[in-house]
Amino acid sequence: MTDRNNERSSVEVNRRQMLAVTGSALGAALVPGAGALAQTRVTVDEANLRPRPIAIPAFLGEDPRLAQAIADVVQADLERSGLFRPLDRGAFIEQINDLATAPRFADWRAVGAEALVVGQVTKLQDGRFRAEFRLWDTVLGKSLTAQHFATDPRAWRRLGHIIADQIYEKLTLEKGYFDTRVVFIDETGPKNKRLKRLAIMDQDGHNVRLLSSGQELVLTPRFNPQSQQICYMSYVGGNPRVQMMDLATGQRQVVGDFPNMTFAPRFAPDGRRIVMSLQEGGASSLVEMDLGSRRISQLTQTGAIDTGPCYAPDGRQIVFESDREGTQQLYVMGANGAGQRRISSGPGRYSTPVWSPRGDYIAFTKQYAGRFLIGVMRPDGTGERVLTEGFHNEGPTWAPNGRVLMFFREHRGANGGPSIYSIDLTGYNERRVTTPSFASDPAWSPLLS
Amino acid sequence: MYFGLTVSMVAHLALLGWALMAFQTTEPYKMAEPEAVEVAIISADELVRLRQGDRDSKKLETRPAEKIEKKPTEQEAKREIVKTVPPPAASPPEAQDDPISKKLAALQPVEPKGPTAEEIAAKKAAEEAAKKAADEAAKKAAAQKAAEELALQKAAEEKKKQAEAEAEKKRKADAEKKRKAEERRKRVAAEKKRRQDADRKRKLAEQRRRDKERQAKSFDSGKISALLNKIPDAAAPQGGNPDPNARPDAPRGARAGAPEGRDTRLTASQRSLLGAMMKRAVSQCWNINSGLEGVDRMVVELEVRLGPDGRLQGQPRVANNRGGAIFQDAVNSAVRALIQCEPYDLPKEFYKGGWDHMVVTFDPQKMF
């Protein structure tokens, strides 16, 4: 009897064990990664955030100087972004001789490169030249992209910017901003008799061209997001007026026929409308003009000074500054002027609001405690943070990818003057943009290509 | 006739009278009184319950029989007292001959025999003078004695001090010698213990290894399905013989369902230590596109296999594939970090079942 009981219990145990084993096996088979639950698990929640090391050897080509110059433009663009750290070419182990052959990844990893750009420039029969490049991920050991472009030899710098944009986009998953231009006010002469002229340059400060002679005062130039067209305020016959200029043709025209002064213009995202301030006695209101029909809509009329309007990237809202409550503050309203509400709430005075092309932030100038700050806040007024501060910072403008800003900084002293600076949205990587003379009031263009 | 009758009557009467008297004086019959017995009335169901046993009944604790203390008798008590009485102290030393006492004794006056008044007066004066002299002598003697005692005491103290100093010196020397001997002994013992421990550990490790080998030989995890499957499967391995085609280095353990599953080989703290070491190593190489919108939510889980040399074995496998360009970029960042930081310098003893196969989660959420 006892033996039988023992036998039965042992049978039960075996069945139970077998059921358990079967259950485990089924579970492991049905649940993906279930087997991994019993393994050592590691959670990495800290990163070593740093610019990515990238190797950009001189491009190959019949004209080594041109090939190297293009590679230099690419390298300088990536370096200025603050997201990449180009490596010293002298340290490279492998000599690139051929774009078709895969590089020795171990050699590039050995010098610390995470990415490698190889390129080649060849002359075409029609006088143009062709540039091609290939981007490698040296750590993963794979090609990320390979492209080629043909252009006029005079546009070699732009070609470098275009290649840099492609690399930037591939490695950051965001649109680049190197093939862009900046209009600004070029300032020359003594402080009390400063000559202010409209000028344009590449985003890296090269290729500066003057767009006005300096006979008339020009202020607040703004780019049309859809074309190579700018609007600005100019004293035409001693009367301030908003004007437009086609950069390709140099043709100018006055925007609207207003009895009073118009200023602080800004294109709508679709490029078909302009919103601006219209002086009315001691106050100013905001008006919108349809460039096609020339129809004018009054957006605000509060008896206060409403100015500095800027559209949201979807064109549905407008942010502007107003002193209707005593001091300059930021307000947001619908594109038709409805639903005006204040968004700035901190101490100090807020001005020159600019909506980011990504739509996530509004940049502004803030005057507080005798200093001028450049900051950003969410469109609802939350998340305000200061990117930079100083004696006199003003006039932020966004790069088309919404990640970098430019602004100008006035330096003290009799010989002091304004200079243009760029800064990352995070507040890091502040760089001065080299210009031939003093420069103020920058406005960033959309991507040219 | 009348005589006979009379005699008969008298005889009968006498008999009756005797009988009567005898009856009255007979010792009464005494029955032994029975002892009282406690009786309890038990009902029928109680009886049944008693016979069956009650599960709810209180468990009676068995108490040890009380130990009866035997009281000692008076004699024994006395003996005990005698035993406990401490032995008498050694008798004090006999008083030694005191020179001063002798002197005093010599000064004792001789008993006079029938003295006169003058003699008495003279005697008194003499006695007084003698007494005075004796007192002075006694005082002198006492002073001398005190001085001698003091000198003796001093000498004794001096001697004692010297003896103590010497004893102390000797004691210290002994202690030092003893300490050194003890240290030497301890050192030898520690060394011996260390050797023994190492030997024991080596033997234990060897024993474990043998056990594991035996287990591995006796149980093939790959044949569980064959054991469970009652229907013969041509593809399933048959019998207990090891599969000749099976790779000796093929991954086994928890994933394969082996009872010696490697997950049981490391303790939680050892795994935690491994995790911390791996995290520290990989963090150095992990870089992300921090400005990218939504990158903070891109948690990537990679299944990683490392070789004993600390290098990746094959491409890490994504365990939580979500798809999308941003996720793929996060995966690339994670894989790049793993590749860039190899080889990993992790404890060799934790390789099997520890860091040979891990799940590494890259979670950027804390950084934003």
Strand partners, A351: A365
Q: Where are the domains of chain B?
A: 121-217, 265-367
Both A304 and A278 in a single domain? Answer: yes
Q: Is residue A43 part of a domain?
A: no
Whether pTM > 0.95 for this model: the answer is no
Q: Is residue A41 part of a domain?
A: no
B306 touching A (Cβ < 8 Å): no
What is the band of A29 on the pLDDT scale with cuts at 50, 70, 90? Answer: very low
Distances (CA, A) of A376 to A303, A325, A367, A427, B121: 28, 21, 14, 10, 138
Q: Cis before residue B244, ω within 30 degrees of 0?
A: no
Both A388 and A420 in a single domain? Answer: yes
Q: Is residue A440 part of a domain?
A: yes
- At A354, which CATH number? 2.120.10.30
What does the alpha-carbon distance between residue A294 and residue A344 come to, in Å, rounded to a whole number?
A: 33
B254 contact residues in A (CB cutoff 8 A)? 35, 38-39
Q: Which of A156, A91, A103 is nearest to A129 (CA)?
A: A156
Both A299 and A407 in a single domain? Answer: yes
A36 contact residues in B (CB cutoff 8 A)? 255, 303, 319, 359
Chain segment A235-272, per-residue pLDDT in tens: 877 788 888 999 988 898 888 778 888 889 999 999 99
- At A147, which CATH number? 3.40.50.10070
Q: Is residue A42 part of a domain?
A: no
Q: How many domains does chain A have?
A: 3
Tell me the torsion sign for CA atoms B78, B81, B87, B92.
Answer: negative
A170 touching B (Cβ < 8 Å): no
For B204, the enclosing helix (H) or strand (E) is helix B117-218
Contact A242, A220 (CB under 8 A): no
* Count of positions (residues) in chain A: 449
Q: Which of A444, A448, A447 is nearest to A421 (CA)?
A: A444
Both A91 and A238 in a single domain? Answer: no
Question: Taking CB atoms and an 8 Å limit, are A44 and B303 in contact across chains?
Answer: no
DSSP letter string, B154-193: HHHHHHHHHHHHHHHHHHHHHHHHHHHHHHHHHHHHHHHH
B290 touching A (Cβ < 8 Å): yes
Question: Taking CB atoms and an 8 Å limit, are A173 and B337 in contact across chains?
Answer: no
Q: At what angle do helices B117-218 and B99-106 cross, to 10 degrees?
A: 160
Question: Taking CB atoms and an 8 Å limit, are B359 and A36 in contact across chains?
Answer: yes
Both A162 and A81 in a single domain? Answer: yes
Q: Residue A25 sits in which domain range?
A: 2-32
Q: What is the mean pLDDT of residues A47-59?
A: 94
B279 contact residues in A (CB cutoff 8 A)? 42-46
Both A414 and A362 in a single domain? Answer: yes
Among all residues of chain B, which has the CA nearest to that of A14?
A: B228
For A353, the enclosing helix (H) or strand (E) is strand A349-355
Domain final residue pick, A139, A172, A205: A172
Contact A353, A344 (CB under 8 A): no
Domain final residue pick, A172, A199, A233: A172
Out of B228, B303, B339, closest to residue A18 by CB: B228
Distances (CA, A) of B132 to A381, B106, B107, B125, B126: 124, 15, 12, 10, 9
Both A25 and A88 in a single domain? Answer: no
Out of A40, A41, A173, closest to residue B292 by CB: A173
What does the alpha-carbon distance between residue A344 and residue A383 come to, in Å, rounded to a whole number?
A: 11
Q: What is the mean pLDDT of residues B302-322?
A: 92
Contact A397, A407 (CB under 8 A): yes
Please tell me chain A's helix, strand, coil percentages from 3-state DSSP, rounded to the nearest 5: 20, 40, 40
Domain final residue pick, A103, A137, A172: A172
Q: Is residue A136 part of a domain?
A: yes
What does the alpha-carbon distance between residue B9 and residue B15 come to, in Å, rounded to a whole number?
A: 10
Q: Is residue A76 part of a domain?
A: yes
Three-state SS at A438? strand
Chain segment B100-153, per-residue pLDDT in tens: 444 444 444 434 344 444 555 555 666 666 566 556 655 665 656 666 666 566
B228 touching A (Cβ < 8 Å): yes
Both A79 and A217 in a single domain? Answer: no
Strand partners, A366: A350, A373
Interface list for B 166-185 with A (CB within 8 A)? none
Chain segment A348-382, per-residue pLDDT in tens: 999 999 999 999 999 999 999 889 999 999 999 99
The CATH number assigned to the domain with range B265-367 reads: 3.30.1150.10
Both A72 and A166 in a single domain? Answer: yes
Both A83 and A195 in a single domain? Answer: no
DSSP letter string, B56-69: TSPPPPPPPPPPPP
Q: Is residue A269 part of a domain?
A: yes
DSSP letter string, A205-274: S-S-EE-S-SSS-EEEEEE-TTSSEEEEEEEETTEEEEEEEETTT--EEE----SS-EEEEEE-TTSSEE
Contact B302, B362 (CB under 8 A): yes
Both A120 and A10 in a single domain? Answer: no
Chain segment A371-411, per-residue pLDDT in tens: 999 999 999 999 999 999 988 999 999 999 999 999 999 98
Q: Which of A401, A402, A409 is nearest to A433 (CA)?
A: A409
A338 touching B (Cβ < 8 Å): no
Q: Which of A298, A300, A296, A340 is nearest to A317 (CA)?
A: A340
